[in-house]
Structure formats: structure tokens, C-alpha cells
Structure 1
Amino acid sequence: MTVAPDRTPLDRTFFDRPVLEVAPDLLGRTLVRHTPRGPIEVRLTEVEAYAGPVDPGSHAYRGRTERNAVMFGPPGHAYVYFTYGMWHCLNLVCGPEDFASGVLLRAGEVVKGVESARANRPTAKNDHELAKGPARLATALDIDRRLNGTDVCAGGTAPLGVLTGTPAPAARILHGPRTGVAGVGGDGTLHPWRFWIDGDRSVSPYRPHAPRRRGTARR
């Protein structure tokens, strides 16, 4: 018998932990985006951890700015940033306040509101590609900077929330270098902080870091 995913919202204590505990524990959870057309729900299958002041790959590594201020606030809030002049990405702030760590939501499977997600991502070739990658996930869920700072622990019909879902079994969780992030040593291998569900077709393809050429956008 198939057991339905747990619909209990995750509270702030879930996010008030070290980022390397929260990141893999988000796999299998259900991200909910309430929209005027109804909710869109995504089963999370791939994430990346960013550890603030001790992590050169983090937006918060060099301290607080207007752009990253949400990361220094209480855990359980959304940090949404704009990148490459065209895409938004969604992170969930975790760990103690002022430490500025967070989890980038890289990919997932749309399990509710598929028609709305398709309308938001009309170029998707099939449904398992709707949220396959951080920019695709944000686009499918109609997430942009207007949602920066949203409390994902508010409950009810708040714009964003995370439900308990069905946590991924530890045996199916793999980890490795973050996509496109060099990290210490140049190849990212000292920060194997990308976590994903093994064999899930919604997981995005890994791309190693490529040195930025002059005139190209920075992540």
C-alpha cells in the first residue's frame, strides 16, 4: 500500500540547524508555492549547501550586502537572487541567525499544479524537466525577487512553504561537488555539498566549474 506524503509543515527548528544537516534532509520534502491559480508542489530531489562566512562559494562569504541581507536573518526564510541577467534561484536560509548559511534548491519533481507549471515553463520538453535545475524550478513556480525574505514557516496559504513529505532514504542520497562552483583548490572537490536522490530523473546534470572569461556574468 502506498503511503501518502506527510502534509505537516516543517517548522523553524528544522531549519535552525547546520546547513550540512539541513541540505540532505530536504530531499523528498514537498515545496509548496501558493499562486492565484492554485498551489504548485514540488518534491525536492537535488540541493546544494552554502556555508556563509566559511564558504568562498557563498554569496555571504564577504559579508552582508543589500542583496544577501536575508541570509543573515532568522532561519526558515527564502533568499531569492537574480543571476546572469535573466534567471532567479531559490534558497532556504538555515543555521543560526547572522551566520548566513543556506540551501539552494536545484531540482525537483512537480507533483501538483502541473498545468500551472507547464504554463510557466512552456519550453519544457516533458514534465520531469519542468523543475530540472535551479532556474527552471524557480520559473516553474513563478518565483522571483518579490518573494525574497518570505517566511516559509508561516503556514496557511503563505506564498511559500515546505511540507514534511516523504524524506528520501539515506541509502539513496548521494553527494559530490557543487555545480559550477570552484571552491578551495579550484575544482570544488573540497566542498562536496551537492546532494541528490540517486536515479531520480528530475535531477539536473552536473557541470564542473569553468573559469570565468572576461566580460561574462558572475554567479
Structure 2
Amino acid sequence: MSIKVLADVTSPREAGLIILGSTLTVDDVALRIVEVEAYGGEKVGPWPDPAAHSYRGQTPRNRVMFGRAGLLYVYRSYGMHFCMNISYGPTGVAGGVLLRAAEVVAGDDVVKERRSRARHKYDWARGPGNLGSSVGISLADNGLDVFDPTSRVRLQLGEAEIWSEGPRVGVSTAADIPWRLWIPDSSAVSAYRRSPRAPADS
């Protein structure tokens, strides 16, 4: 049922709202997702998005985004951080929801050791790179089915009763599309930073 819900979405925003408030479990660590960014797909698809990795078509790097809903798309950011997306939409149509921030709800000791330089607990998984570090994600996890109960990375869909939405962080194109969604009362939500390369009228 969870896969069907994500497969049948009619927009990237809807996919983001489905994942916001859900629980992500990686081994013994569990987190509540409090911030996401939705990304569309290639320019010939139903949700053309020039900020998406898939915009210019399928490649070995982004092929998971073109797979069925509920797959984990992992990529390396700035050569050192691993970021996580969940695919959505029908097979063959690219789409991904970036997990931007989360609150740790189980596995504190494990995350505290991994994120020992963080000043506060709400900083442990604040920002997509920190979130990836907090759960020990790597490129070896790329393509995992997050709805498979035997998977190392699992997603339990929840619901955010209240949310805010606004432009995405750090993208230089399509910067003003309001596909960043967050739970406003969470201290773990990351700060908004507009890319200096984004034109004023994007």
C-alpha cells in the first residue's frame, strides 16, 4: 500500500507531503522526517525540473530515480556527504524527495558517536549531509527498497499535521518553486539559504 501511495502521486509536492512526518529506520537508529525537498524529473516528463539530477535524462548515477516508487537514491554531495532521496511516481518517470532534516527518536548513543561534533541533539540530523552521517548511509545503500521489511533502510509513512512550504535550498535553477516542506515547530529544521547563483526572478 505504501508503494502504491507514492506511485500514484500527481505532483512532486504531494510526494513530499506523503514523506514529511514519516519515520526512517536504519539498523538501530530511527528518525522522524521533519524537512524534505521534492524534485521532479526530466524535461520531457510530467514534472520537468531543471534542478533535478534526472532533468537531462537517465544515467548510471540517477537511474534509481527512474525506478519504481519507494527506492532509496543515495548520492555524494561536495565529495564527502551522502544524501538520501526516496523515489516516487510510476516506473520510468523520474522523481525524488530529498530527506533534508530529521529528529532522532531511537539510537541516540549510536548517533551521538557519529555526530560527536554537533552541539545539540537537534543538530544531529539537521541538513541532508548530517542526516546521512547520523544513520551511517553510503553509496552501497543506493537502490534499497525502503518498504521491504528486511531492508537495512526502512520507511514507515506518517503524517505531518501542520507544515510550511517555501523555496528549495541552494539550487541555482528553479529556485523559487515552493517544494521545500517542513514541520515548523521542529528545532531540527535547517536554515533556508538561497543560492547566490540563483537569478532574482527564477
TM-score (norm 2): 0.91
Amino acid at match of 2:160: A
Amino acid at match of 2:155: V
Q: Quote the residue 2:135 is aligned against.
A: 141
Equivalent residues in 2 for 1:1-219 (5 A)?
11-16=2-7, 17-18=9-10, 19-34=12-27, 39-53=28-42, 54-156=48-150, 158-165=151-158, 167-169=159-161, 172-184=162-174, 188-189=175-176, 191-211=177-197
Q: Unaligned 5+ residue runs, structure 2?
A: 43-47
Number of aligned residue pairs: 191
Distance 1:66 1:162 in 2: 24
Distance 1:192 1:153 in 2: 27
Distance 1:102 1:161 in 2: 16
Percent of pairs with identical residues: 39
TM-score (norm 1): 0.84
Distance 1:164 1:58 in 2: 23
Q: Unaligned 5+ residue runs, structure 1?
A: 1-9, 213-219
Distance 1:50 1:26 in 2: 13
Q: Is the partner of 1:104 in helix, strand or coil? A: strand
State the 4+ residue runs in structure 1 displaced beyond 4 angstroms: none
Distance 2:110 2:127 in 1: 18
RMSD: 1.3
Amino acid at match of 1:178: R
* Displacement after TM superposition at 1:183 (Å): 2.5
Distance 1:99 1:110 in 2: 32
Counterpart contact for 2:54–2:94, Cα < 8 Å = yes
Distance 2:165 2:3 in 1: 25
* Displacement after TM superposition at 1:182 (Å): 2.7
Distance 2:95 2:73 in 1: 10
